[in-house]
């Protein structure tokens, strides 16, 4: 039996509120351009440019937020507040080609996340037709708060269907929207991702951000909130 060259890293894991259970993170899928007002502020036409799927490494997730290092190689570091859905145990489901209702039933819990972005590198990548990976999938680029169990959020008057989503920086309003304004609702996002890859337990899905994105600097304190979920606080390390 061969042994590992070095100990495999423990999985990144998210706490589930009201339980002593952790959700081990597998992969991170993200939606871009899923709120029309943000698509427009980024120079896209939401009637012509549909939402786009990209990824971050699972180990870019920073459970619970806290101090976040300012990343190297950027002069334009932007947070994007997002609703995050976590896929739970799936039983016999293989996660492929799901219909929206079936896909939504796989969600174990919801959290507030920040899709941290090197906006300058993203702009360069767009101009060059190059991949977004280093603009989006760098170290510590995905702070995520505690998960609220999906079973605690039944009905259409809260996440994932509707609810205020906001970001403040040093107490000043920065981003504000409503989950109901998503171009693709969460169930459709999950169905779409399942047509591209098989969804697996521990996959996280970031669902896009509303308008108001802008830069943050060392020392800034970011408060990300989705109505009905545990807030997420991040400080950019001084
Ligand atoms: Mn985003």
User: How far apart are the CA of 115 and the centre of ligand 1, in A?
Assistant: 5
User: How far apart are the CA of 132 and the centre of ligand 1, in A?
Assistant: 12
Q: Does pLDDT of 139 surpass 90?
A: yes
The pLDDT of 73-97, averaged and rounded, is 95
Domain that holds residue 49: 13-237
| ∠ Cα 188 185 193 (to 5°) | 35
In a domain, 57, yes or no: yes
- The band of 93, judged by pLDDT with boundaries at 50, 70 and 90, is confident
In a domain, 149, yes or no: yes
In a domain, 178, yes or no: yes
Query: CA–CA separation, 134 vs 145, rounded Å?
Result: 23
User: How far apart are the CA of 182 and the centre of ligand 1, in A?
Assistant: 12
User: How far apart are the CA of 6 and the centre of ligand 1, in A?
Assistant: 34
Query: CA–CA separation, 131 vs 196, rounded Å?
Result: 17
Residues 6+ apart with CB under 8 A from 220: 169, 170, 235, 236
| CATH code of the domain in which 72 resides | 3.90.850.10
Nearest to 186 by CA among 84, 91, 70, 54: 84
Mean pLDDT of the chain: 96
User: How far apart are the CA of 136 and the centre of ligand 1, in A?
Assistant: 9
- The band of 170, judged by pLDDT with boundaries at 50, 70 and 90, is very high
Q: Does pLDDT of 154 surpass 90?
A: no
User: How far apart are the CA of 114 and the centre of ligand 1, in A?
Assistant: 8
Query: CA–CA separation, 46 vs 34, rounded Å?
Result: 8
User: How far apart are the CA of 116 and the centre of ligand 1, in A?
Assistant: 8
In a domain, 8, yes or no: no
Model-level pTM greater than 0.95? yes
For residues 167 and 79, is the Cβ–Cβ distance under 8 A? yes
| ∠ Cα 217 223 226 (to 5°) | 140
Listed in sequence order, the DSSP H helices in 89-237 are 100-104, 119-128, 133-136, 186-196
The pLDDT of 177-201, averaged and rounded, is 97
User: How far apart are the CA of 92 and the centre of ligand 1, in A?
Assistant: 31
- The band of 191, judged by pLDDT with boundaries at 50, 70 and 90, is very high
User: How far apart are the CA of 210 and the centre of ligand 1, in A?
Assistant: 9
Query: CA–CA separation, 96 vs 128, rounded Å?
Result: 32
pLDDT score for 91: 84
In a domain, 25, yes or no: yes
Residues belonging to the chain: 238
Domain count, the chain: 1
Sign of CA dihedral 136, 158, 47, 192: positive
Sign of CA dihedral 52, 138, 232, 152: positive
């Amino acid at each position: 039996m061969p042994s590992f060259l070095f100990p495999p890293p423990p999985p990144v894991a998210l706490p589930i509120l009201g339980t002593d259970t952790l959700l081990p993170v597998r992969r991170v899928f993200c939606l871009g351009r899923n709120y029309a007002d943000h698509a427009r502020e980024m120079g896209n036409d939401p009637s012509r440019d549909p939402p786009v799927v990209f990824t971050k490494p699972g180990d870019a997730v920073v459970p619970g937020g806290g101090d976040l290092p300012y990343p190297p190689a950027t002069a334009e570091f932007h947070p994007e507040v997002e609703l995050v859905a976590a896929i739970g145990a799936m039983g016999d489901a293989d996660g492929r080609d799901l219909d929206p209702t079936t896909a939504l039933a796989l969600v174990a819990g919801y959290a507030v996340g920040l899709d941290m972005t090197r906006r300058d590198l993203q702009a360069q990548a767009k101009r060059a037709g190059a991949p977004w990976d280093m603009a989006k999938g760098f170290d510590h680029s995905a702070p995520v708060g505690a998960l609220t169990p999906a079973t605690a959020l039944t009905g259409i008057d809260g996440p994932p269907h509707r609810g205020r989503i906001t970001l403040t920086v040093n107490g000043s309003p920065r981003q504000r929207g409503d989950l109901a304004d998503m171009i693709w609702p969460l169930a459709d996002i999950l169905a779409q991702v399942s047509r591209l890859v098989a969804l697996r337990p521990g996959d996280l899905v970031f669902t896009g951000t509303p308008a108001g994105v802008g830069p943050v600097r060392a020392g800034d304190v970011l408060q990300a909130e989705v109505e009905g979920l545990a807030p997420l606080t991040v400080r950019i390390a001084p």
